[in-house]
Structure 1
Amino acid sequence: MAENRFRVRENEKPKGRGFFGFLSAKLKLSQSWNSQLPVKHLPKVAFTVLLGVFYVWNNHYAERTVRQIDKLEDEVEDLRANVTTLEANYMYSSKQSEVAKKVKALGLEESMEPPAKIIVEGNEY
């Protein structure tokens, strides 16, 4: 019985070796292992490398986030101190004696008479 053979077309160029063939040729792994690159292990190695890259990226991201949180906590503490100072100044400047000092320049004076109470009868309203 005759063997099956592929027809070789003359106008077709032979295909390249692909990425792993190129990698094997550049790294010259065939000389060190006396065979081709063991392709069956490459998906596991690629997955492990991908996990390593993700782990390093995640670690850098977490450290950057912690630095940002520390910076923002310091800023919030400064703002809280500023608010407390501003509130104290506002409360001091809104005292009756301080308001009287500020409006004296405008020619206004404090009334020395107590306020009069206005009484409205129920039928007048």
Structure 2
Amino acid sequence: MPEEPEQKREWRLRINYRAITQNMPFILFLAVLALIYIANSHLAEKKVRRINKLGREIKELKWEYLNVKSELMFRSKMSEVSRAVEPLGLKELSIPPQKIELQKTE
């Protein structure tokens, strides 16, 4: 049992407050480095989340582009155009168009 107080005293001798105060700038430097490391990891996570969000948005916009493109291709077919303008009274030509040529007079 007498050994326990010696161990406690030995522990107190290891904690030298003078050494701690002399090394305070180094301790503060390590604390600042730790804060910078934490902030950097947070910023990196935030950027990764934003990149993933933008990637999903790009995919959605690509799907929308392909959908609109296919719809345009479908609506620009001659049969669809003629069906769309039928209520206006316009009809498809039954005879081919003719070229009109003017004679030059000299």
TM over 0.5: yes
What letter matches 2:76 in structure 1? S
2:46 is matched with 64
1:104 is matched with 86
- With the length of structure 2 as denominator, give the TM-score of the two structures: 0.75
Taking only the aligned residue pairs, the percentage that are identical comes to 34
1:50 is matched with 32
Please give the root-mean-square deviation of Cα atoms over the aligned residues, in Å: 2.2
1:23 is matched with none
Rate the CA distance shift 1:79–1:94 in 2: closer, same or farther, 3 A: same
Listed as ranges, the matches of 1:73-88 within 5 Å are 73-88=55-70
1:4-47 Cα distance to aligned partner (Å, 9 max, x none):
xxxxxxxxxxxxxxxxxxxxxxxxxxxx9575574321111111
Distance 1:34 1:99 in 2: 92
2:77 is matched with 95
Listed as ranges, the matches of 1:5-24 within 5 Å are none
2:5 is matched with none
Q: Which one has a larger percent helix, Structure 1 or Structure 2?
A: 2
The alignment covers a number of residue pairs equal to 92
Unmatched tracts of structure 1, length 5 or more: 1-31
Distance 2:17 2:60 in 1: 67
2:99 is matched with 117
Q: Runs (4+) of structure 1 moved beyond 3 Å?
A: 32-38, 118-121
